[in-house]
Amino acid sequence: MSDGRIFIEPVPTAETEAFWAGTAEGRFLVRRCRSCGKAHWYPRTICPFCSSDETEWVEGTGEGTIYSFSIMRRAKPNYVMAYVTLTEGPTMMTNIVDCDPESLRIGDAVRVTYVKTAEGRALPMFTPKSEASA
Ligand SMILES: [Zn+2]
């Protein structure tokens, strides 16, 4: 889906290359530490919690809940910036799409959806689970 907005093109690095390869296939990968067991965002080789380099990619659920959000009303069309707490633990900044912004509530369950960028990468964004399954 696309509403004609221009998104900031992600620049894959050595640390995030696998993540972007995953989204291109519709897979949401999360980086987790084998040493302390915690997942983190954004993906890094060194664990931000315990500084271990024993981190690995795991298949994420692509599901989470809205931690906070704000509606960008000056944009046409309006869009929603949000922090989503993933089921795996970390919180990421993202957009909520395919929704009625006025009906969103903190704590709402969301799931990942992918928006194609100009260069063909798949940006992970989130959409309310209730509306998606309705
Ligand atoms: Zn760790």
Distance between Cα 85 and ligand 1 center (Å): 18
Average pLDDT over residues 17-46: 96
Distance between Cα 9 and ligand 1 center (Å): 29
Instruction: Say how far apart CA 76 and CA 18 lie, in whole Å.
Output: 33
Share of the chain above pLDDT 70, in %: 93
| 131 pLDDT tier (thresholds 50, 70, 90) | low
83-128 pLDDT tens trace: 999 999 999 999 999 999 999 999 999 999 999 998 889 999 999 9
Count of positions (residues) in the chain: 134
Q: Is the pLDDT higher at 73 or at 56?
A: 56
Distance between Cα 33 and ligand 1 center (Å): 5
Distance between Cα 32 and ligand 1 center (Å): 8
| 2 pLDDT tier (thresholds 50, 70, 90) | very low
Strands (E), the chain: 29-33, 39-40, 55-59, 63-72, 79-86, 91-96, 109-116, 122-128
Distance between Cα 38 and ligand 1 center (Å): 6
Which domains, and CATH codes, for the chain?
17-132 (2.40.50.840)
Residue 132 has pLDDT above 50, yes or no: no
Distance between Cα 39 and ligand 1 center (Å): 8
Report residue 9 as tokens.
């093109």
Per-residue CA distances from 21 to 14, 15, 29, 33 (Å):
12, 12, 9, 20
Return the DSSP state at 6. Answer: P
Is this model's pTM higher than 0.85 or not?
A: yes
Distance between Cα 2 and ligand 1 center (Å): 37
